[in-house]
Chains A and B, each alone.
Chain A
Protein backbone atom coordinates (compact mmCIF):
# COMPACT_ATOMS: atom_id res chain seq x y z
CA UNK A 1 0.00 0.00 0.00
CA UNK A 2 1.38 3.45 -0.84
CA UNK A 3 1.85 5.79 2.14
CA UNK A 4 -0.99 8.14 1.22
CA UNK A 5 -3.34 5.28 2.05
CA UNK A 6 -2.02 5.26 5.60
CA UNK A 7 -3.83 8.39 6.60
CA UNK A 8 -3.27 7.75 10.27
CA UNK A 9 0.53 7.82 10.22
CA UNK A 10 1.42 10.71 12.53
CA UNK A 11 2.96 13.74 10.78
CA UNK A 12 5.60 15.79 12.64
CA UNK A 13 5.53 19.60 12.45
CA UNK A 14 9.06 21.02 12.27
CA UNK A 15 10.03 23.18 15.25
CA UNK A 16 12.56 26.06 15.14
CA UNK A 17 16.16 24.77 15.14
CA UNK A 18 15.26 21.37 13.75
CA UNK A 19 16.54 20.00 10.45
CA UNK A 20 15.89 16.85 8.44
CA UNK A 21 18.44 14.15 7.92
CA UNK A 22 17.63 11.89 4.97
CA UNK A 23 18.75 8.25 4.98
CA UNK A 24 18.14 6.01 1.96
CA UNK A 25 16.33 4.91 -0.14
CA UNK A 26 19.36 3.08 -1.49
CA UNK A 27 22.05 2.40 1.05
CA UNK A 28 24.14 -0.64 1.77
CA UNK A 29 23.48 -0.07 5.48
CA UNK A 30 19.92 -1.38 5.29
CA UNK A 31 18.68 -4.66 3.90
CA UNK A 32 16.04 -3.16 1.59
CA UNK A 33 15.39 0.14 -0.16
CA UNK A 34 13.53 2.46 2.18
CA UNK A 35 13.57 6.20 2.76
CA UNK A 36 13.99 7.40 6.32
CA UNK A 37 13.79 11.03 7.39
CA UNK A 38 15.07 11.87 10.85
CA UNK A 39 14.10 15.25 12.27
CA UNK A 40 16.58 16.49 14.84
CA UNK A 41 17.89 19.68 16.46
CA UNK A 42 21.34 18.04 16.61
CA UNK A 43 21.48 14.96 18.80
CA UNK A 44 18.01 13.98 19.90
CA UNK A 45 15.68 12.56 17.32
CA UNK A 46 12.34 14.31 17.57
CA UNK A 47 10.62 12.51 14.74
CA UNK A 48 11.16 9.73 12.20
CA UNK A 49 9.23 9.22 8.97
CA UNK A 50 9.55 5.93 7.10
CA UNK A 51 8.76 6.11 3.38
CA UNK A 52 8.34 2.62 1.99
CA UNK A 53 6.92 3.79 -1.32
CA UNK A 54 10.29 3.79 -3.15
CA UNK A 55 10.23 0.07 -3.79
CA UNK A 56 6.46 -0.28 -3.84
CA UNK A 57 5.63 -3.01 -6.37
CA UNK A 58 2.39 -3.27 -8.27
CA UNK A 59 1.55 -6.94 -8.54
CA UNK A 60 -1.05 -8.41 -10.88
CA UNK A 61 -3.21 -10.94 -9.11
CA UNK A 62 -6.79 -10.28 -10.15
CA UNK A 63 -8.02 -12.57 -12.91
CA UNK A 64 -5.29 -15.12 -12.28
CA UNK A 65 -5.80 -18.78 -11.43
CA UNK A 66 -5.01 -19.81 -7.85
CA UNK A 67 -1.90 -21.63 -9.06
CA UNK A 68 -0.52 -18.62 -10.94
CA UNK A 69 -1.51 -16.17 -8.20
CA UNK A 70 0.41 -18.28 -5.70
CA UNK A 71 3.62 -17.77 -7.70
CA UNK A 72 3.23 -14.03 -7.11
CA UNK A 73 2.10 -14.32 -3.48
CA UNK A 74 5.21 -16.38 -2.67
CA UNK A 75 7.25 -13.42 -3.91
CA UNK A 76 5.54 -10.70 -1.87
CA UNK A 77 8.08 -11.31 0.87
CA UNK A 78 10.46 -14.06 -0.19
CA UNK A 79 12.02 -14.31 3.27
CA UNK A 80 8.57 -14.95 4.73
CA UNK A 81 7.18 -16.82 1.73
CA UNK A 82 5.74 -19.66 3.81
CA UNK A 83 3.71 -17.21 5.93
CA UNK A 84 2.36 -15.32 2.94
CA UNK A 85 1.62 -18.30 0.74
CA UNK A 86 0.03 -20.34 3.53
CA UNK A 87 -2.17 -17.45 4.70
CA UNK A 88 -3.23 -16.96 1.08
CA UNK A 89 -3.91 -20.66 0.55
CA UNK A 90 -5.88 -20.88 3.78
CA UNK A 91 -8.04 -17.97 2.65
CA UNK A 92 -8.62 -19.76 -0.67
CA UNK A 93 -9.50 -23.00 1.11
CA UNK A 94 -11.88 -21.03 3.32
CA UNK A 95 -13.49 -19.49 0.23
CA UNK A 96 -13.92 -22.90 -1.40
CA UNK A 97 -15.01 -24.64 1.82
CA UNK A 98 -12.19 -27.17 1.45
CA UNK A 99 -11.41 -29.69 4.19
CA UNK A 100 -7.67 -29.89 4.74
CA UNK A 101 -6.13 -32.93 6.42
CA UNK A 102 -4.35 -32.66 9.77
CA UNK A 103 -1.14 -33.95 8.14
CA UNK A 104 -1.12 -30.99 5.76
CA UNK A 105 -1.81 -28.57 8.63
CA UNK A 106 1.08 -30.06 10.60
CA UNK A 107 3.35 -29.74 7.56
CA UNK A 108 2.32 -26.08 7.47
CA UNK A 109 3.32 -25.63 11.10
CA UNK A 110 6.68 -27.17 10.23
CA UNK A 111 7.20 -24.57 7.50
CA UNK A 112 6.05 -21.65 9.63
CA UNK A 113 8.31 -22.58 12.53
CA UNK A 114 11.34 -23.19 10.30
CA UNK A 115 10.70 -19.79 8.75
CA UNK A 116 10.39 -18.23 12.21
CA UNK A 117 13.70 -19.73 13.38
CA UNK A 118 15.53 -18.41 10.34
CA UNK A 119 13.90 -15.00 10.47
CA UNK A 120 14.59 -14.53 14.19
CA UNK A 121 18.22 -15.59 13.69
CA UNK A 122 18.51 -12.96 10.97
CA UNK A 123 17.08 -10.24 13.23
CA UNK A 124 19.40 -11.14 16.12
CA UNK A 125 22.36 -11.21 13.72
CA UNK A 126 21.44 -7.75 12.47
CA UNK A 127 21.17 -6.53 16.07
CA UNK A 128 24.77 -7.62 16.63
CA UNK A 129 26.06 -5.89 13.48
CA UNK A 130 25.83 -2.26 14.60
CA UNK A 131 27.43 -3.31 17.89
CA UNK A 132 30.47 -4.45 15.87
CA UNK A 133 30.14 -7.93 17.38
CA UNK A 134 32.00 -9.90 14.71
CA UNK A 135 32.01 -13.34 16.32
CA UNK A 136 28.26 -13.61 17.05
CA UNK A 137 27.45 -11.99 13.68
CA UNK A 138 29.38 -14.74 11.93
CA UNK A 139 28.09 -17.52 14.13
CA UNK A 140 24.48 -16.43 13.69
CA UNK A 141 25.03 -16.09 9.93
CA UNK A 142 26.44 -19.60 9.93
CA UNK A 143 23.41 -20.91 11.80
CA UNK A 144 20.97 -19.06 9.55
CA UNK A 145 22.59 -20.67 6.51
CA UNK A 146 22.34 -24.06 8.22
CA UNK A 147 18.59 -23.51 8.59
CA UNK A 148 18.34 -22.44 4.92
CA UNK A 149 19.90 -25.76 3.97
CA UNK A 150 17.49 -27.67 6.20
CA UNK A 151 14.62 -25.82 4.49
CA UNK A 152 16.10 -26.52 1.07
CA UNK A 153 16.25 -30.27 1.74
CA UNK A 154 12.80 -30.36 3.34
CA UNK A 155 10.94 -28.18 0.82
CA UNK A 156 13.04 -28.48 -2.35
CA UNK A 157 13.65 -24.72 -2.30
CA UNK A 158 15.51 -22.48 0.14
CA UNK A 159 12.47 -20.17 0.46
CA UNK A 160 9.63 -22.74 0.19
CA UNK A 161 8.75 -21.54 -3.34
CA UNK A 162 6.66 -24.16 -5.13
CA UNK A 163 6.17 -26.35 -2.05
CA UNK A 164 2.46 -25.64 -1.45
CA UNK A 165 -0.94 -25.75 -3.14
CA UNK A 166 -4.52 -25.81 -1.86
CA UNK A 167 -4.82 -28.86 0.41
CA UNK A 168 -1.30 -29.95 -0.44
CA UNK A 169 2.21 -29.72 0.90
CA UNK A 170 5.39 -31.26 -0.51
CA UNK A 171 7.54 -30.72 2.57
CA UNK A 172 9.28 -33.62 4.27
CA UNK A 173 10.55 -33.47 7.85
CA UNK A 174 12.83 -36.47 7.58
CA UNK A 175 16.08 -36.03 9.53
CA UNK A 176 15.23 -32.48 10.51
CA UNK A 177 15.00 -32.87 14.28
CA UNK A 178 18.55 -34.01 14.86
CA UNK A 179 19.93 -31.11 12.82
CA UNK A 180 17.64 -28.66 14.59
CA UNK A 181 18.63 -29.94 18.04
CA UNK A 182 22.27 -29.39 17.13
CA UNK A 183 21.50 -25.88 15.80
CA UNK A 184 19.47 -25.21 18.97
CA UNK A 185 22.45 -26.06 21.18
CA UNK A 186 24.72 -23.80 19.14
CA UNK A 187 22.18 -21.00 19.35
CA UNK A 188 21.78 -21.40 23.11
CA UNK A 189 25.51 -20.83 23.59
CA UNK A 190 25.50 -17.68 21.45
CA UNK A 191 22.32 -16.42 23.10
CA UNK A 192 23.70 -16.98 26.60
CA UNK A 193 26.84 -15.09 25.58
CA UNK A 194 24.80 -12.17 24.29
CA UNK A 195 22.70 -12.09 27.46
CA UNK A 196 25.94 -11.76 29.45
CA UNK A 197 27.37 -8.98 27.28
CA UNK A 198 26.86 -5.66 29.05
CA UNK A 199 28.03 -3.58 26.06
CA UNK A 200 25.48 -5.28 23.80
CA UNK A 201 22.65 -5.11 26.31
CA UNK A 202 23.33 -1.42 26.96
CA UNK A 203 22.58 -0.70 23.31
CA UNK A 204 19.25 -2.49 23.53
CA UNK A 205 17.88 -1.64 26.95
CA UNK A 206 15.58 1.40 27.06
CA UNK A 207 16.17 1.86 23.34
CA UNK A 208 12.98 2.14 21.27
CA UNK A 209 10.35 1.97 23.99
CA UNK A 210 6.94 1.33 22.49
CA UNK A 211 4.32 3.85 23.56
CA UNK A 212 0.97 2.25 22.85
CA UNK A 213 -0.61 -1.09 22.02
CA UNK A 214 -0.77 -0.72 18.22
CA UNK A 215 1.68 -3.57 17.84
CA UNK A 216 1.91 -7.09 16.53
CA UNK A 217 4.31 -10.05 16.62
CA UNK A 218 7.43 -10.07 18.80
CA UNK A 219 7.07 -6.28 19.22
CA UNK A 220 3.67 -6.79 20.87
CA UNK A 221 4.78 -9.72 23.00
CA UNK A 222 7.84 -7.74 24.16
CA UNK A 223 5.41 -5.05 25.36
CA UNK A 224 3.48 -7.35 27.66
CA UNK A 225 0.68 -8.11 25.19
CA UNK A 226 -0.51 -11.71 25.00
CA UNK A 227 -0.97 -11.39 21.29
CA UNK A 228 -0.01 -14.29 19.03
CA UNK A 229 -2.38 -15.78 16.46
CA UNK A 230 -1.01 -19.24 17.28
CA UNK A 231 -2.89 -19.06 20.60
CA UNK A 232 -6.32 -19.20 18.97
CA UNK A 233 -5.61 -20.56 15.50
CA UNK A 234 -8.82 -22.05 14.15
CA UNK A 235 -7.07 -24.23 11.56
CA UNK A 236 -3.46 -24.89 12.53
CA UNK A 237 -3.26 -27.43 15.41
CA UNK A 238 -0.82 -25.51 17.60
CA UNK A 239 -2.77 -26.74 20.63
CA UNK A 240 -1.24 -30.20 20.10
CA UNK A 241 2.29 -28.81 20.29
CA UNK A 242 4.40 -27.38 23.13
CA UNK A 243 3.85 -23.86 21.75
CA UNK A 244 3.57 -21.12 24.37
CA UNK A 245 3.48 -17.37 23.82
CA UNK A 246 6.71 -15.71 24.97
CA UNK A 247 5.72 -12.52 26.81
CA UNK A 248 8.10 -9.87 28.14
CA UNK A 249 7.36 -6.51 29.76
CA UNK A 250 10.39 -4.42 28.74
CA UNK A 251 8.82 -2.75 25.64
CA UNK A 252 12.31 -2.01 24.25
CA UNK A 253 14.86 -3.51 21.81
CA UNK A 254 16.02 -5.85 24.53
CA UNK A 255 12.49 -7.20 25.02
CA UNK A 256 12.12 -7.77 21.28
CA UNK A 257 15.52 -9.52 21.16
CA UNK A 258 14.60 -11.62 24.18
CA UNK A 259 11.23 -12.70 22.75
CA UNK A 260 12.89 -13.77 19.50
CA UNK A 261 15.63 -15.70 21.27
CA UNK A 262 13.13 -17.69 23.37
CA UNK A 263 10.87 -18.25 20.36
CA UNK A 264 13.69 -19.85 18.39
CA UNK A 265 14.04 -22.47 21.11
CA UNK A 266 10.26 -22.94 21.39
CA UNK A 267 9.96 -23.37 17.59
CA UNK A 268 12.54 -26.17 17.71
CA UNK A 269 10.43 -27.93 20.38
CA UNK A 270 7.24 -27.38 18.35
CA UNK A 271 8.82 -28.99 15.28
CA UNK A 272 10.09 -31.93 17.33
CA UNK A 273 6.53 -32.59 18.52
CA UNK A 274 5.07 -32.82 15.01
CA UNK A 275 6.27 -36.35 14.34
CA UNK A 276 7.28 -37.57 10.93
CA UNK A 277 6.08 -35.11 8.29
CA UNK A 278 5.84 -36.48 4.76
CA UNK A 279 4.60 -35.08 1.47
CA UNK A 280 0.83 -34.98 1.89
CA UNK A 281 -2.27 -34.31 -0.15
CA UNK A 282 -2.44 -33.99 -3.91
CA UNK A 283 -2.01 -30.78 -5.89
CA UNK A 284 -5.11 -30.25 -7.96
CA UNK A 285 -6.61 -27.42 -9.96
CA UNK A 286 -9.25 -25.77 -7.77
CA UNK A 287 -12.33 -24.18 -9.21
CA UNK A 288 -15.33 -22.58 -7.56
CA UNK A 289 -16.67 -19.35 -6.15
CA UNK A 290 -16.59 -17.82 -2.70
CA UNK A 291 -14.95 -15.47 -0.28
CA UNK A 292 -12.58 -16.46 2.45
CA UNK A 293 -10.02 -15.12 4.86
CA UNK A 294 -7.23 -16.41 7.04
CA UNK A 295 -4.67 -15.13 9.50
CA UNK A 296 -1.54 -16.65 10.92
CA UNK A 297 1.49 -15.68 12.94
CA UNK A 298 4.37 -14.79 10.64
CA UNK A 299 7.80 -14.10 12.16
CA UNK A 300 7.06 -10.35 12.22
CA UNK A 301 3.48 -10.72 13.43
CA UNK A 302 -0.10 -11.30 12.47
CA UNK A 303 -0.61 -11.60 8.70
CA UNK A 304 -4.09 -11.57 7.18
CA UNK A 305 -5.38 -12.48 3.69
CA UNK A 306 -8.75 -12.12 2.06
CA UNK A 307 -9.51 -13.86 -1.24
CA UNK A 308 -12.61 -13.56 -3.41
CA UNK A 309 -12.88 -16.24 -6.10
CA UNK A 310 -14.97 -16.43 -9.22
CA UNK A 311 -14.85 -19.68 -11.11
CA UNK A 312 -11.45 -20.50 -9.64
CA UNK A 313 -10.00 -17.12 -10.60
CA UNK A 314 -8.95 -14.39 -8.19
CA UNK A 315 -11.63 -11.72 -8.33
CA UNK A 316 -10.45 -9.75 -5.32
CA UNK A 317 -7.57 -10.04 -2.90
CA UNK A 318 -6.02 -8.02 -0.12
CA UNK A 319 -3.71 -8.56 2.76
CA UNK A 320 -2.67 -6.83 5.96
CA UNK A 321 1.04 -7.01 6.65
CA UNK A 322 2.32 -6.90 10.23
CA UNK A 323 4.87 -4.35 9.00
CA UNK A 324 2.07 -1.79 8.69
CA UNK A 325 1.54 -1.63 12.46
CA UNK A 326 5.17 -2.09 13.32
CA UNK A 327 6.41 0.77 11.12
CA UNK A 328 4.07 3.06 12.98
CA UNK A 329 5.29 1.69 16.32
CA UNK A 330 8.92 2.08 15.23
CA UNK A 331 8.37 5.72 14.30
CA UNK A 332 6.80 6.47 17.66
CA UNK A 333 9.47 4.56 19.57
CA UNK A 334 12.33 6.56 17.99
CA UNK A 335 11.21 9.86 19.49
CA UNK A 336 13.70 11.01 22.11
CA UNK A 337 16.39 8.54 21.04
CA UNK A 338 19.73 9.47 19.45
CA UNK A 339 21.06 8.48 16.03
CA UNK A 340 23.32 5.69 17.33
CA UNK A 341 20.16 3.97 18.62
CA UNK A 342 18.59 4.01 15.18
CA UNK A 343 19.99 0.80 13.64
CA UNK A 344 19.39 -1.30 16.75
CA UNK A 345 15.84 -0.10 17.02
CA UNK A 346 15.03 -0.48 13.33
CA UNK A 347 16.38 -4.03 13.20
CA UNK A 348 14.64 -5.02 16.44
CA UNK A 349 11.23 -4.66 14.77
CA UNK A 350 12.20 -7.04 11.93
CA UNK A 351 10.20 -5.09 9.34
CA UNK A 352 10.18 -6.23 5.68
CA UNK A 353 9.52 -3.36 3.29
CA UNK A 354 8.83 -5.70 0.34
CA UNK A 355 5.67 -6.89 2.09
CA UNK A 356 4.39 -3.48 3.19
CA UNK A 357 5.00 -1.63 -0.04
CA UNK A 358 2.99 -3.92 -2.27
CA UNK A 359 -0.09 -2.97 -4.28
CA UNK A 360 -2.39 -5.65 -5.68
CA UNK A 361 -3.89 -5.03 -9.10
Chain B
Protein backbone atom coordinates (compact mmCIF):
# COMPACT_ATOMS: atom_id res chain seq x y z
CA UNK B 1 0.00 0.00 0.00
CA UNK B 2 2.82 2.41 0.83
CA UNK B 3 4.06 1.84 -2.74
CA UNK B 4 0.64 2.86 -4.02
CA UNK B 5 0.79 6.25 -2.29
CA UNK B 6 4.41 6.75 -3.28
CA UNK B 7 3.42 6.08 -6.90
CA UNK B 8 0.41 8.37 -6.59
CA UNK B 9 2.58 11.18 -5.29
CA UNK B 10 4.94 10.84 -8.25
CA UNK B 11 2.15 10.35 -10.80
CA UNK B 12 0.43 13.62 -9.89
CA UNK B 13 3.65 15.59 -10.31
CA UNK B 14 4.23 19.13 -9.10
CA UNK B 15 1.02 21.08 -8.52
CA UNK B 16 2.38 24.19 -6.83
CA UNK B 17 1.83 27.49 -8.60
CA UNK B 18 4.58 30.08 -9.03
CA UNK B 19 2.73 32.73 -7.01
CA UNK B 20 3.95 35.01 -5.33
CA UNK B 21 6.84 35.04 -7.86
CA UNK B 22 4.32 35.26 -10.72
CA UNK B 23 0.73 36.40 -11.17
CA UNK B 24 -1.97 34.29 -9.45
CA UNK B 25 -3.20 31.40 -11.65
CA UNK B 26 -6.85 31.71 -10.68
CA UNK B 27 -7.61 34.81 -8.60
CA UNK B 28 -11.13 35.13 -7.23
CA UNK B 29 -13.22 38.18 -8.09
CA UNK B 30 -14.25 38.47 -4.45
CA UNK B 31 -12.41 39.25 -2.34
CA UNK B 32 -10.13 41.44 -4.40
CA UNK B 33 -9.51 45.16 -4.81
CA UNK B 34 -12.55 47.36 -5.33
CA UNK B 35 -12.73 50.43 -7.55
CA UNK B 36 -15.49 52.92 -8.23
CA UNK B 37 -16.98 56.19 -7.23
CA UNK B 38 -19.93 57.64 -5.37
CA UNK B 39 -21.48 56.86 -2.01
CA UNK B 40 -23.52 53.66 -2.44
CA UNK B 41 -25.03 51.94 0.60
CA UNK B 42 -22.38 50.02 2.50
CA UNK B 43 -23.39 48.02 5.59
CA UNK B 44 -19.95 48.35 7.23
CA UNK B 45 -19.17 51.93 6.17
CA UNK B 46 -16.19 50.65 4.23
CA UNK B 47 -17.01 53.34 1.70
CA UNK B 48 -16.97 56.79 3.21
CA UNK B 49 -16.38 60.14 1.54
CA UNK B 50 -15.59 58.34 -1.70
CA UNK B 51 -12.80 56.31 -0.08
CA UNK B 52 -12.72 52.52 0.28
CA UNK B 53 -11.31 50.99 3.47
CA UNK B 54 -10.38 47.41 2.56
CA UNK B 55 -10.12 46.40 6.21
CA UNK B 56 -13.81 47.15 6.76
CA UNK B 57 -15.07 45.56 3.55
CA UNK B 58 -16.93 42.25 3.74
CA UNK B 59 -17.15 41.96 -0.08
CA UNK B 60 -20.93 41.72 0.01
CA UNK B 61 -21.55 43.28 -3.46
CA UNK B 62 -24.14 45.78 -2.20
CA UNK B 63 -22.09 48.67 -3.62
CA UNK B 64 -22.05 47.11 -7.08
CA UNK B 65 -22.32 48.30 -9.87
CA UNK B 66 -20.97 51.68 -8.67
CA UNK B 67 -17.96 49.81 -7.34
CA UNK B 68 -16.49 46.79 -9.14
CA UNK B 69 -13.96 44.13 -8.09
CA UNK B 70 -10.57 44.48 -9.81
CA UNK B 71 -9.28 40.96 -9.19
CA UNK B 72 -6.16 42.36 -7.46
CA UNK B 73 -5.09 40.13 -4.61
CA UNK B 74 -2.68 42.51 -2.88
CA UNK B 75 -5.24 43.82 -0.40
CA UNK B 76 -3.11 43.78 2.73
CA UNK B 77 -0.98 46.23 4.63
CA UNK B 78 2.30 45.59 6.41
CA UNK B 79 3.43 48.10 9.04
CA UNK B 80 6.33 46.12 10.47
CA UNK B 81 8.48 43.39 8.99
CA UNK B 82 10.85 40.92 10.63
CA UNK B 83 13.61 40.00 8.15
CA UNK B 84 15.12 37.75 10.86
CA UNK B 85 12.23 35.39 10.16
CA UNK B 86 13.08 34.81 6.50
CA UNK B 87 14.56 31.36 7.05
CA UNK B 88 11.75 30.10 9.23
CA UNK B 89 8.51 31.79 10.00
CA UNK B 90 6.16 30.01 12.39
CA UNK B 91 2.60 31.23 12.71
CA UNK B 92 0.15 30.45 15.49
CA UNK B 93 -3.49 30.74 14.44
CA UNK B 94 -5.97 32.02 16.95
CA UNK B 95 -9.69 31.80 16.30
CA UNK B 96 -11.21 34.45 18.55
CA UNK B 97 -14.72 34.06 17.08
CA UNK B 98 -14.82 33.17 13.40
CA UNK B 99 -17.46 31.83 11.07
CA UNK B 100 -14.94 29.16 10.07
CA UNK B 101 -14.19 30.45 6.58
CA UNK B 102 -11.06 32.39 7.63
CA UNK B 103 -9.78 29.20 9.31
CA UNK B 104 -10.28 27.25 6.09
CA UNK B 105 -8.54 29.83 3.91
CA UNK B 106 -5.56 30.07 6.25
CA UNK B 107 -5.25 26.28 6.08
CA UNK B 108 -5.46 26.41 2.28
CA UNK B 109 -2.07 28.14 1.98
CA UNK B 110 -0.53 24.81 2.99
CA UNK B 111 -2.35 22.93 0.20
CA UNK B 112 -0.35 21.96 -2.91
CA UNK B 113 -1.48 24.90 -5.08
CA UNK B 114 0.10 27.36 -2.62
CA UNK B 115 2.54 25.29 -0.52
CA UNK B 116 3.50 27.94 2.05
CA UNK B 117 6.24 25.61 3.36
CA UNK B 118 8.35 26.32 0.26
CA UNK B 119 8.50 29.96 1.47
CA UNK B 120 9.64 28.75 4.91
CA UNK B 121 6.23 29.53 6.40
CA UNK B 122 5.00 26.92 8.86
CA UNK B 123 2.13 26.52 11.30
CA UNK B 124 2.81 25.69 14.94
CA UNK B 125 0.41 24.38 17.56
CA UNK B 126 2.05 26.31 20.39
CA UNK B 127 2.37 30.07 20.84
CA UNK B 128 5.73 29.46 22.55
CA UNK B 129 7.20 28.40 19.22
CA UNK B 130 5.52 31.11 17.18
CA UNK B 131 6.97 34.17 15.47
CA UNK B 132 3.56 35.58 14.64
CA UNK B 133 0.05 35.25 15.92
CA UNK B 134 -2.63 35.27 13.24
CA UNK B 135 -5.88 36.45 14.81
CA UNK B 136 -9.14 35.58 13.06
CA UNK B 137 -12.72 36.46 13.94
CA UNK B 138 -14.48 38.96 16.14
CA UNK B 139 -13.78 38.94 19.87
CA UNK B 140 -16.07 36.34 21.41
CA UNK B 141 -16.07 37.06 25.13
CA UNK B 142 -14.97 33.50 25.99
CA UNK B 143 -11.80 33.87 23.92
CA UNK B 144 -10.51 37.03 25.60
CA UNK B 145 -8.41 35.12 28.13
CA UNK B 146 -7.07 32.62 25.57
CA UNK B 147 -5.99 35.48 23.29
CA UNK B 148 -4.20 37.26 26.15
CA UNK B 149 -2.46 34.05 27.26
CA UNK B 150 -1.34 33.16 23.74
CA UNK B 151 0.00 36.66 23.15
CA UNK B 152 1.95 36.66 26.41
CA UNK B 153 3.35 33.19 25.79
CA UNK B 154 4.97 34.21 22.50
CA UNK B 155 8.67 35.09 22.48
CA UNK B 156 9.97 38.40 21.06
CA UNK B 157 10.14 39.54 18.32
CA UNK B 158 6.52 38.81 17.56
CA UNK B 159 4.27 39.95 14.80
CA UNK B 160 0.57 40.49 15.29
CA UNK B 161 -1.45 39.75 12.21
CA UNK B 162 -5.17 40.36 11.68
CA UNK B 163 -6.75 38.00 9.16
CA UNK B 164 -10.12 39.02 7.73
CA UNK B 165 -12.60 41.83 8.21
CA UNK B 166 -13.79 40.56 11.62
CA UNK B 167 -10.31 40.65 13.14
CA UNK B 168 -9.35 43.94 11.51
CA UNK B 169 -12.45 46.00 12.13
CA UNK B 170 -15.21 43.76 13.44
CA UNK B 171 -16.66 43.53 9.92
CA UNK B 172 -20.41 43.17 10.17
CA UNK B 173 -20.58 40.83 13.15
CA UNK B 174 -19.14 42.50 16.23
CA UNK B 175 -16.00 43.97 17.76
CA UNK B 176 -12.47 43.27 16.62
CA UNK B 177 -10.17 41.57 19.16
CA UNK B 178 -7.61 44.40 19.04
CA UNK B 179 -7.51 47.99 17.87
CA UNK B 180 -6.14 48.49 14.38
CA UNK B 181 -3.09 50.41 15.58
CA UNK B 182 -1.87 47.29 17.39
CA UNK B 183 -1.72 45.10 14.31
CA UNK B 184 1.52 44.89 12.35
CA UNK B 185 -0.17 43.27 9.37
CA UNK B 186 -3.77 43.49 8.13
CA UNK B 187 -4.99 40.94 5.61
CA UNK B 188 -8.29 42.09 4.12
CA UNK B 189 -11.10 39.87 2.90
CA UNK B 190 -14.14 38.06 4.16
CA UNK B 191 -12.48 35.67 4.15
CA UNK B 192 -9.15 36.74 2.61
CA UNK B 193 -8.16 34.63 -0.39
CA UNK B 194 -5.19 32.26 -0.01
CA UNK B 195 -3.28 34.38 -2.55
CA UNK B 196 -3.66 37.45 -0.34
CA UNK B 197 -2.73 35.54 2.81
CA UNK B 198 0.36 33.96 1.27
CA UNK B 199 1.74 37.19 -0.15
CA UNK B 200 1.01 39.14 3.04
CA UNK B 201 2.84 36.57 5.20
CA UNK B 202 5.80 36.53 2.81
CA UNK B 203 5.98 40.33 2.94
CA UNK B 204 5.66 40.39 6.72
CA UNK B 205 9.03 38.74 7.05
CA UNK B 206 10.59 41.21 4.64
CA UNK B 207 10.27 39.63 1.14
Contact = CB atoms under 8 A, between A and B. Distances in A.
Contacts of B8: 135, 139, 189-190, 193
A162 B126 CA distance: 36
Interface stretch (B46-54, B77-85, B96-104, B199-207): B96-104
21 contacts: A32-B98, A33-B95, A67-B62, A71-B172, A72-B173, A75-B58, A75-B101, A75-B190, A78-B101, A79-B104, A133-B5, A135-B6, A142-B113, A144-B108, A144-B111, A145-B113, A152-B28, A158-B193, A162-B59, A189-B8, A354-B100
Nearest to A197: B1
B113 A76 contact: no
Interface string A243-266: 000000000000000000000000
A68 interface: yes
B187 interface: no
A54 B30 contact: no
B123 A28 contact: yes
Nearest to B101: A78
Interface in B53-102: 58-62, 92-102
A193 B93 CA distance: 32
Contacts, number: 166
Contacts of B59: 157, 161-162
A144 B112 CA distance: 11
Nearest to B58: A71
A26 B146 contact: yes
A91 to B, nearest CB: 19
A207 interface: no
A31 interface: yes
Contacts of B98: 32, 55, 78, 354
Given A67-B62, A159-B101, 4 more contacts: A25-B146, A31-B103, A33-B140, A138-B111
A71 B143 CA distance: 23
A28 B100 contact: no
Given A79-B104, A81-B101, A159 B29 contact: no
**Top-9 shortest CB links A-B:** A78-B101, A28-B125, A141-B111, A78-B99, A54-B142, A162-B61, A135-B5, A75-B99, A354-B100
Contacts of A197: 1
A27 B125 CA distance: 6
Interface string A44-56: 0000000001111
Contacts of A139: 8, 12, 112
Interface string B127-152: 00000000001101111001100100
Interface residues of A, number: 57
B125 A142 contact: no
A197 to B, nearest CB: 5
B140 A54 contact: yes
B137 A145 contact: no
B3 to A, nearest CB: 11
Given A55-B140, A55-B142, A161-B30, A142 B15 contact: yes
A139 to B, nearest CB: 7
A120 to B, nearest CB: 14
B157 interface: no
B172 A138 contact: no
Interface string A330-341: 000000000000
B96 A55 contact: yes
B173 A57 contact: yes
Given A28-B124, A75-B172, A156 B29 contact: yes
A158 to B, nearest CB: 6
Contacts of B111: 138, 141-142, 144-145
A25 B15 CA distance: 34
Interface string A76-90: 111111000000000
A189 B59 CA distance: 37
A7 interface: no
A335 to B, nearest CB: 26
Contacts of A138: 9, 111-112
B143 A33 contact: yes
A352 B15 contact: no
Most A CB within 10 A of own CB, among B28, B95, B171 = B95
Contact of A152 (B29, B61, B101): B29
